[in-house]
Structure 1
């Protein structure tokens, strides 16, 4: 299959302005014999001349900048591109319009404020009406996505807007590779236009380039700031953003991983196992604290009977577990009694027996200690589950995986595949990373109308759990796995 790619780079307009060369008629040596009063007079003249010339050049640049914007605005008016016209006029407003352009500027403003636009001589791109945010988040405003026409979208144009250089180069290119592979898999035969968002100063500049190709669908942008700017343009082209958006128009969708939203699977897990009383372990990391706060709020909303214990690790994991399970209190009583009787006593620490589940919102180095400590105090009956606050390193997990034997972990599928001892070395590649998973899921969403047009969905895929809400926002969640005594991962299926 042949894939047609068009990659753009930033365009620039360069102006060569006339430059004046100021030279003294006298030579460097002759100037030494000129009286100082004459020299001072000549210096003042030269300084004044330079100031006047510099101001003249600045005026020329300002004149040219405004003339370019006026011309672009008039073209936007001619073709009926209202959003572009508004953007150009806003830029002119910020510059203080020169008197020579004032009449043309006022004419364009009057045209923009008119109740109706003149019909466009070009084929217009369908504009999505601006919706009230408060009323938009309802079922009726979700509009179906017509992703590809018949014949593999031979006449379709798909645009991909991603950061492909600088700080986001690795993740952007991984996502791009995933999208192109997924499109190839479904037999896409149209035109693919790829733009590096890093090379452009604004989303408006990107849209100026892209609109000439009349795209039928857009994947991206990725970065939140760029996605927000892009949405403000209201291009009317169906779009799937790779970020969480505060609201979405009818033909817009959004897909993003969400650690905080993923805590819902813990609640489902507890509900299916009927585990009411829990101990939550956190450390002082802000993500750990935030996850616990979000989880507690969700737990409180659905649980009115169980016990909720929260313990922050201040020094060591062992001390935190001992304190939360009352083992510390048991040890203190033993030491006090031994001191009173002044005799060595045989001691077996007693822990509280009303804890069903220990949930750890911890880093890998702290989390790896939880199960061994619980086993040491013979608390084997207590279930334990680890919800990482950051994506663990594969190399670290492989070396220490036995620390999670007989425990549950919340991992994205690609991570569990990488870590399992039976996994082939070839699996440890970018093709099973988070952003590759996002690309695959994105194409799956837009090509399946049951998914893309569905509301409040909860689906299980090979790349993770997909959860959607009523606005068209999709989240890619991790999954729960059981780690057995041989370090093998067994997926835990939850009722959907």
Structure 2
């Protein structure tokens, strides 16, 4: 046992000695501790921190960051809500500029005219000493906001004065938008503009170009002569060196005019007067153009009422070898023509199939005085003006009920609220109808009940319903003259009233129309422009037709206008052509739609509203 006790320690010592003499393997270097990258705060976290902050300035800054983040994340509704909580007076100058830029973007994206106007009213000089990129962004958004609110000339002016802030593709996009804004400006507005500063030749040149084109808009040849003259007067102007796309195409249109046009309209039977009114409008525009040009276009005229069926009508058209057909007018013929096998002629019908349907596989285009255009425009304008809940009045007949349903569908599609639809008897007085529609009768009933409970007479002013922002009125002038004063009498005089062209007879009657004051309505330029020489000449020649069918004269003149301008609509997206029945545009389904002017009654006279679009 003693030997063992000695050997074991010796063995261990020897082992340790051997280990100490062996080469040491180095330890691998220790890995540095990786820090988890800090995630940027979410919009919700920023909002929570802002609400908990005791600093108004810091809270405003955090909410601005949150609104920008929500905008980048494609959450415009939430961004809009957060943005509206920001108090700009607490923001630093740099943050205030970002606040204005973000607000303009949200206003344009959300079609909020009210918000856009509030931001346009803020001082913009704080961008004067910033970098060119931020100045350019601000100018671009201001121009878009001005366009949104219908201030097209001011939008064009802003684009012209800021053009040097852009380069390459941005510059030429701005170049095209300058012309688009000027084209959408009214001729009256362009003519009334004071002479610009002589040092700003670019602005002056653009204005002169717009005047030259718009003063001759119903004669293609006069427009081209005016364009050539302008190019000679302004050879160094940016628009002369690089014509906007529309004007470049305009120069090619004379070569594209059809050599023969066939007009197919009902010139006898039930639709005789309607057909003749359209024809007279077409002929007036045709002969006026012929006097101004070297056009050799020949006309053929077919009475569609004499064709027993669609096959006979197509055969009659075929015999005239047309380059373009205008018509038919009757809806059933339009529907049959749309499905006719192997029909090969380019055609502009003067009625539609179903409102949102089109004919995309042939050369048939649909055009007419569609009431749907007016309903869409009323809904669009009301929505832009922050109307959300409406009360709709329509006559209690088949047409009125159908129109009410169409307007309700349009408004609901915009996420609007229809608080109620009320149908009135067009042959009766409307006193009780309006009282009931505004629920004033319920307010009076509550007063009576309360008096019975307390046994005393009360001083009391009835109240109307409070769940509506505006009224949509579908009525003729006779019913409108009764309804509008009753709205005021029953405490709804402060509600905006939007109406269609049916509210106006088309004849100046200032004394009778005093009761229509402040109603806003859609109307054709033909009716509102009493100085139109073509209208004056036609109505002098056809006074009986003019009293009832004056808007159909406008349709006829625009049918001829389209015969030479259709390539513009086909080749330039989003273009509007100014016509007598409205601004004309082509949709993807080959339907030509009208955007009418807005008017209101002042002292009984129909006055164009230039602040609406």
TM-score where L is the length of structure 1 = 0.60
Please list, as runs of the form range in 1=range in 2, the aligned pairs for 1:135-214 lying within 5 A after superposition: 150=255, 156-186=259-289, 187=293, 188-214=295-321
Which of 541, 558, 569 does residue 451 from structure 1 map onto?
569
Distance 2:378 2:503 in 1: 17
Distance 2:577 2:612 in 1: 10
Aligned to 2:557: 440
Deviation at 1:455, TM superposition (A): 5.7
Pair 1:361-2:474 in alignment: yes
| 5+ long unaligned stretches in structure 1 | 1-143
Distance 2:301 2:538 in 1: 29
Name the one with the larger helix percent.
2
Alignment CA distance shift 1:487-1:464 (3 Å): same
SS of residue matched to 1:159: strand
CA offset digits 1:281-310 (Å, max 9, x no partner): 233222222222222222222226x56333
Pair 1:313-2:443 in alignment: no
Distance 1:424 1:204 in 2: 39
Which of 449, 459, 471 does residue 336 from structure 1 map onto?
449
Distance 1:151 1:384 in 2: 45
Number of residue equivalences: 344
Aligned to 1:226: 333
Distance 1:381 1:462 in 2: 33
Contact 1:411 1:478 in 2 (8 A): yes
Pair 1:242-2:355 in alignment: no
Deviation at 1:462, TM superposition (A): 3.8
CA offset digits 1:252-272 (Å, max 9, x no partner): 212111113421111221122
Deviation at 1:233, TM superposition (A): 4.7
Please list, as runs of the form range in 1=range in 2, the aligned pairs for 1:419-438 lying within 5 A after superposition: 429=543, 430=545, 433-438=550-555
Aligned to 2:374: 262
Contact 1:254 1:472 in 2 (8 A): yes
Distance 2:600 2:488 in 1: 17
Deviation at 1:470, TM superposition (A): 0.8
Distance 1:240 1:479 in 2: 23
Deviation at 1:352, TM superposition (A): 3.5
Contact 2:373 2:594 in 1 (8 A): no
Aligned to 1:469: 587
Q: Which stretch shows the higher mean deviation, 321-330 or 214-223?
A: 321-330
Deviation at 1:332, TM superposition (A): 0.7
Task: Please tell me whether Structure 1 or Structure 2 has the larger radius of gyration of its CA atoms.
Answer: 2
Please list, as runs of the form range in 1=range in 2, the aligned pairs for 1:1-16 lying within 5 A after superposition: none
Contact 1:152 1:189 in 2 (8 A): no
Aligned to 1:217: 324
Higher RCO (CA 8 Å, separation ≥ 6 residues):
1
Q: Which stretch shows the higher mean deviation, 426-435 or 233-242?
A: 426-435
Alignment CA distance shift 1:192-1:395 (3 Å): closer
Deviation at 1:391, TM superposition (A): 7.3
Pair 1:302-2:382 in alignment: no
Contact 2:516 2:604 in 1 (8 A): no
Alignment CA distance shift 1:399-1:485 (3 Å): closer
SS of residue matched to 1:264: helix
Pair 1:275-2:387 in alignment: yes
Please list, as runs of the form range in 1=range in 2, the aligned pairs for 1:40-59 lying within 5 A after superposition: none
Distance 1:391 1:332 in 2: 33
Please list, as runs of the form range in 1=range in 2, the aligned pairs for 1:118-133 lying within 5 A after superposition: none
Pair 1:384-2:487 in alignment: no
Distance 2:580 2:393 in 1: 30
CA offset digits 1:146-199 (Å, max 9, x no partner): x9764976xx22211111122222222222222222223333323211122222
TM-score where L is the length of structure 2 = 0.50
Contact 1:278 1:309 in 2 (8 A): yes
CA offset digits 1:90-116 (Å, max 9, x no partner): xxxxxxxxxxxxxxxxxxxxxxxxxxx
Alignment CA distance shift 1:396-1:481 (3 Å): closer
Contact 1:222 1:242 in 2 (8 A): yes
SS of residue matched to 2:362: coil
Distance 2:263 2:286 in 1: 12
Distance 1:216 1:470 in 2: 22
Distance 1:410 1:165 in 2: 31
SS of residue matched to 2:270: helix
Contact 2:411 2:418 in 1 (8 A): no
Alignment CA distance shift 1:344-1:213 (3 Å): closer
Report the aligned-residue RMSD. Answer: 3.6
Contact 2:440 2:462 in 1 (8 A): yes
